[in-house]
Each structure stands twice: as structure tokens, then as C-alpha cells.
Structure 1
């Protein structure tokens, strides 16, 4: 009988044999994971398009078996088309490869060619910005009476393949065609400005020749600087800039002259 009473007392109070973890810190909530630190990147605060951010709110009631929790969206349905998206899933535009903050950062690097170029600038290569610039360039030339869409895409495709082949032959690190096309497309931005001026001013003259030459130098300097920084080819910048300058020279010819000529009446 005495042994049975002791056993019942032990079963009734098991905490004396199995002390509860965290009993010395009452009121401290349970932490199931620790947030990972944000790594250093060219884009501050950026995250991969596959990373999610799930924020759940819940409570555990003591003395009962009630567990409650809910996941609340950050906003309306239109939030998915922005840069924030719903909690727990990436934004729709980011899934499609469109990130306006990254496009703005790369465009600013092209517009400020004398700034230091970070070698991780093309870690998030995309074609959203280059396609936008090429379309704008073609539309500006169309408004100035030069429908050159076919020549623009043809020169861009052959030029990107040629630069891709030359860069991989010259560098030890190597680069893929996707990043080459992205860099060449972003560095076309000064040429897009010349195309916009062609709508208001005739470029077939001294002014047009000067502006086209400056845009060629600007585009070449920006593109060669990015390629040299990414591939670590600082001693070969002139060799990299020469074929790139020829490519942008073709785009300048398209903006100054009407390649197709006027239709015969």
C-alpha cells in the first residue's frame, strides 16, 4: 500500500523528474526559428523571387486546448502586381522577371558611367528593361519617319551573339548570352534619348552627327565598364570597347539615316 501511494504521487507530479524547458524564463514566447540575416548584395533589401515571407499570428491558451492563428494579407488583390505582393508569395511582376527597383538601379548606372560599377550588378539579369528601351527606340524612330523595327531587332540579335562569342573567347571567367543581351540592352538608353530627339530635330546634319557620336561613346563606355567589372578584365577594356562601339554605331546610323529609303511614288 505504501509503495502504491508513492507511485501515484510520482505520476501525479512528473515535473520533479522531468523539469519543463524554459520554466526559468516565464513569459518568453516560443521561437521556432531565427530569421536569417540579409546577405550583402548590389540591390539593398532585395530577395529572390522564390523567397516567401509568411507572417502568422496566433496564441496558445494556457490551461486549455485552444490554439488560434490567422494569416492576413498585406492589402487588396492589386498588391500582387506591385513590389510587395501577398504575404507568403512573391509579387506577380517579380515572378515574370520585372523588378522596377532593379531596372532603375541599372539604368542609373548607365546614365552615370563615371561611377564605380559593382561586379554584382548583373546577378539579377533581366530583359524587361532592354525590351522596354528597344521598343521605345523603335517607336521614336517611327515617329520621325524611320520605321526600322526589323533592322533594330536584326542588328541587336547578331550584335549580341557576336559580343557573346568575343567575350567568352577573351575572358577566363565566361558569361552567358542572357547577361550579354541584358547589358547591351540597358546601355542602349543614351541612344534612346537620341531617338527621342530625332522626333523634334532632324539628325541628318552637324547637330545629329555630334549627338550620335556622343551617344556612341556614352553607350560604349557604359557597356565596356560593366563587362570589365563583371568579368574582371580591366586590362582589356579597349579591346572590349571596340566591337561594342561598332554595334552601337549601327544603331546610330539607324537613328540618323533612313535605311529603307523613301518609297517610290
Structure 2
């Protein structure tokens, strides 16, 4: 016991042992890097890529660069303005009222020349609007046929899409087929509006429905023929299209009760 305590006291007083212990304690500390980072191996500053510039001499508060717009009130959420260079919301949604108007006027004036590039900017905003209006008019007339309207439209679009791709060499996608059939439903929407005011289950209604079917069929077949360059096959295109619009006419004339 006495030897151990004396050995420990002599060792603690030894200058060599004290120097060795001091070197071991210094291993827990590392000198600060010259680049100012917190620890060795850290990533360089993101000052250039992130646009944020930290300035220690500025009271320790980093100064951020860039063009940041000030936030307005809650009413700015309903405005049409946005960030600089950002496209309008309607353009991002694919809604162009000028194109919708041009295609609708082409359907309403079927005797005019149809441009073969009219469906380069195909959209479904107009067709969805017309199908919805058609179903709403039937609802007001006491004919709640929403399911039949959507079902006939979907099945008819798929059938016409398959037939056109089998008949033409150029081919057409289902998106444009649906767009053409939806826009050419516009005369049938007028029949639905008339059915709200008067009953079409009579001679006048049959005549009006026949005219509407011919109108829709002539417009749709004209657009398909112009886009696919099938001028010699217009009657073959018009036949299945006429059957599709005939189903919509049956929904407008008869109540189904």
C-alpha cells in the first residue's frame, strides 16, 4: 500500500508523465479550420447557389438577396396576378376561350370550310361544359339522365376512336376524338334547352331531333375528314357518328318513364 501510493505520487510529480498526459488531453481538441467552417470536411458555403449571403459584420444577421415579393392580404388569393413570368392559371389548365369560341362557331356554321389544323390545340374544356349543360337541361325537363349521358359519351368516343384509326392511315388520338364529338354536341344542347319549355314527344320534337342529329353528324364528320384527310370516306365516318348523336337525341325526346 505504501509503495503504491508513493509510486503514484512520484509519477504525478514526474515531468515526463505530466507532459504525456497534457498531449493526451490535447487530442480532444482540434484547431479551427482556416476556411471558417465549423468542423473539418464540411460542405462549402451555399452562398452562390442559394442566393443567401451571410454577413457577420452586419450584426450577425444574414442578408438575403433575390427578388421576393411582399405578401398581400387574403384577397390576393382570388386575384389574377402572379409571379413575374408565370403563365396565367387558365393557360396552365388548358382553357383558351378564343379557341373554344372558334371551334364552337365552326360547329354552328357547318357549311363553312373547316381548317385541317383546327384540332392541333385540342381541349376538353368546351366538351365538358357542353355535356354538363346538356345533362342540366334534361334535369330541368324532368329527365335526370346524367349517367346515360356520360356513359353514352364515353362508349361512343371509344368506338369512334377505334373506327377512325382502322379507317385512316394518319391516325388520331382519343383526346382529339373526344374533343370533336364534344364540340359537335352543341346543337343537341339546344334541343335539351327546348325540351325544358315544351314536350318533344311529338311530331315537332321528332323533326327537331332529326335536324339536330344531321347537324351534329355533318359537323363532326366534316372535322374528322378535314383532320384525317378522308374526303372520300365521309359517309363511312358519318354513319357511326350519326348513331352516337341519335342516342343523345333519344335522351332528349323521351323521358324513359
The answer to whether TM tops 0.5 is yes
Measured after TM superposition, the shift of residue 79 of structure 1 is 3.1
Q: 1:86 to 1:124 in 2, by over 3 A?
A: farther
| Whole-angstrom CA distance in 1 between matches of 2:178 and 2:138 | 21
The aligned residue for residue 78 of structure 1 is 79
Q: Quick check: 1:119–1:229 contact (8 Å CA) kept in 2?
A: yes
1:36 aligns to what? none
Q: Tell me what 2:187 maps to.
A: 190
Shift of residue 87, structure 1, vs aligned partner: 5.2
SS at the partner of 1:79?
coil
Correspondence for 1:59: none
Given candidates 110, 113, 123, the residue that maps to 1:113 is 110
- Pairing 1:123–2:124 present: no
* 3-state SS in 1 of match to 2:79: helix
Distance in 1 of aligned mates of 2:247 and 2:83: 45
Deviations 1:41-64 (A, max 9, x none): xxxxxxxxxxxxxxxxxxxxxxxx
Q: Do residues 148 (structure 1) and 149 (structure 2) align?
A: no
- Distance change in 2, residues 1:87/1:110 (3 Å): farther
Q: Alpha-carbon deviations, 1:136-173, whole Å to 9, x = none?
A: 00000000000000000010010000000000000000
1:101 partnered with 2:98: yes
Q: Which residue of 1 aligns with 2:135?
A: 138
Q: In structure 2, do the counterparts of structure 1 residues 86 and 119 end up closer, same or farther at CA, with 3 Å as the change threshold? A: farther
SS of the residue corresponding to residue 207 of structure 1 reads helix
Larger radius of gyration: 2
Cα separation, 2, equivalents of 1:183 and 1:204: 28
Match of 1:219 in 2: 216
Over 3 Å counting, the alpha-carbon distance change for 1:87 and 1:111 in structure 2 is farther
Kindly state the Cα deviation for residue 258 of structure 1 after the two structures are TM-superposed.
1.5
Q: What does residue 243 of structure 1 align with?
A: 240
Q: Give the deviation of 1:94 after TM superposition.
A: 1.2
Bigger proportion of residues as helix: 2
TM-score by length of 2: 0.69
Hey, what's the Cα distance between the residues in 1 that align with 2:215 and 2:223?
13
* Rounded Cα–Cα distance in structure 2 between residues aligned with 1:123 and 1:87: 28
Q: Distance in 2 between matches of 1:231 and 1:206?
A: 37
Structure 2 CA distance, aligned partners of 1:87 and 1:129?
29
Aligned residues, how many? 184
1:174 equivalent to 2:171? Answer yes
Match for residue 64 of structure 2? none
Deviation sequence 1:209-237 (CA, Å, 0-9, x none): 01100000000000000000000000000
In the alignment, structure 2 segments of 5+ residues that lack a partner are: 1-66, 70-75
